[in-house]
Amino acid sequence: MPWTREEMAIKAASELEDGWYVNLGIGIPTLVANNLPSGISIQLQSENGMLGMGPFPYEGEEDADLINAGKQTVTTLPTTSFFSSSDSFAMIRGGHIDISILGAMQVSEQGDLANWSIPGKMVKGMGGAMDLVAGVKRVVILMEHTAKGEPKLLKQCTLPLTGKGVVSKIITDLAVFEVNKGGTPGLVLLEHAPDVTIEQIKAQTEAEFFVR
């Protein structure tokens, strides 16, 4: 049985440590905030200029001046601060944010990431993704293992890159991999979903990986 999106989010949440400043991408990563391990307190950063992001507002309490980077209405917390886009990216690019959890279209065995553009299609833009992956201390990718049956974990990304050698860890519905940066470069399989075999994972993965 592959892991559900919820189970993937719980795995990703276990990467977080108490007191960390965290930036979550759109899609499955947004589920991480609702699946924190008990006793862990973090601050969510939203790159449009907010640290300490609260939950969605109650109906009728939405404020058009209070949104997250996905343009969704949110709320403040007692810890919240607001700042300019310039200060926001100083936080991100200056290495002050502990971790970013993002989705991906492709990841290579060197930790290259592609998640912003498909040649031939209308490109919407990279937003803050290139700054996040270049600047935060640790980048964890949370994604489905394949897209329409095609592997997303590749020897080399074929799509335009968001960042080169930036990914630390990849959590899919089938397995968790670490990107080995020192020693022998490449992917290391750390664990896999129950009743999924290594052979099944190999069949759906173009990248080489070692089994720890």
Determine contact, residues 46/22, Cβ cutoff 8 Å: no
Instruction: Give the C-alpha separation, 40 to 44, whole Å.
Output: 13
Q: Is 62 a catalytic residue?
A: no
Q: Helix, strand, or coil here: 108?
A: strand
Q: Which of residues 60-89 bind another protein (CB under 8 A)?
A: 61-74, 76, 82-86, 88-89
**Closest-CA residue to 138 (of 161, 171, 105, 160):** 171
x/- mask, another protein, residues 9-48, rule CB under 8 A, reads -------------------------------------xxx
Catalytic pick among 6, 7, 47, 208: 47
Q: How many CB atoms lie within 10 A of CB 88?
A: 23
Q: Which of residues 128-147 bind another protein (CB under 8 A)?
A: 128-131, 134-135
DSSP-assigned letters across all residues of 12-23: HHTT--TT-EEE
Q: Which is nearer to another protein, 129 or 143 (CB)?
A: 129
Instruction: Give the C-alpha separation, 129 to 135, whole Å.
Output: 10
Total binding residues toward another protein, as defined by CB under 8 A: 54
Catalytic residue numbers read 47
Residue numbers of the site for another protein (CB under 8 A)?
Answer: 46-50, 55-59, 61-74, 76, 82-86, 88-89, 92-93, 112, 117, 122-131, 134-135, 160-165
